[in-house]
Amino acid sequence: MTVESAANGSEGVAKAVSGSYDCILLDINMEEMDGFQALSTIRGKEVMTPIIIVSGRKDDYDMLYGLGLGADDYVTKPFNPVVLAAKVKALIRRAKIGDRLYFGSIKAGPFSYDTRTLRLYKNGTPISLTAKENSLIWMFMNNVNRVFTKNDIYSSIWDEPVMDENAIMVYINRLRQKIEDDPSHPRYIKNVRGMGYMFVV
């Protein structure tokens, strides 16, 4: 891996916006601009590079807040460097939709997904997605009307043995905010009581 570093949050944002990276590791406690502000600014510029927050802050609130702002994963310190490297590689692989990717366009209802550019469109209007949101919508659009359990979703998108239900709910809600006409009454991503979720068009 070729790695570049930034001395503070402002420099990190400048690099993320102007450069081309496969993944960004982001601390929270930084000078000039903290990690949450940096993350919000990066996503506000529609930079969808996968981002992993690496922080000593272990509160669930910090993790959920970071994921809600657009982070793709949250790793707490201290951590095993080998595990972190594996997470980076897995996230990059998922961002490119790995070896499942085929070139063309997937269409479902008002949605179309360009697998060459990894862009989602609703009625022709582009919708910016993070890496995990990309993987979720790709999975849903290829399996319309199929019920996915939370375990199905976690093992497919996160590829980790222990399921984190909070993370699933965060990403489902984030995706609904972007694709639903009324996220409080979802039309496309439906809850299936006692089972999981289903994509309906």
HSE toward the beta carbon, residue 149, CA cutoff 13 A: 6
Q: 98-201: what fold?
A: Arc Repressor Mutant, subunit A (1.10.10)
CATH 1.10.10.10 intervals, the chain: 98-201
Q: At 149, is the secondary structure helix, strand, or coil? A: strand
Residues 6+ apart with CB under 8 A from 56: 29, 76, 77
d(CA 49, CA 40): 13
pLDDT in tens, 94-116: 776 544 444 567 889 999 988 76
d(CA 126, CA 79): 37
Cα–Cα distances (Å) from 37 to 5, 28, 65, in that order, read: 18, 9, 11
Q: Burial-class residue 42 by CB neighbours within 10 Å (0-12, 13-18, 19+).
A: buried
| Residues paired with 74 in a beta bridge | 53
Domain 1-95 has CATH 3.40.50.2300: yes
d(CA 201, CA 193): 19
pLDDT in tens, 47-69: 888 999 999 988 888 888 998 88
Q: Does 118 have pLDDT greater than 80?
A: no
Q: Work out the average pLDDT over 151-155.
A: 87
Q: Work out the average pLDDT over 150-169.
A: 82
CATH 3.40.50.2300 intervals, the chain: 1-95
Contact 132, 125 (CB under 8 A): no
d(CA 26, CA 46): 17
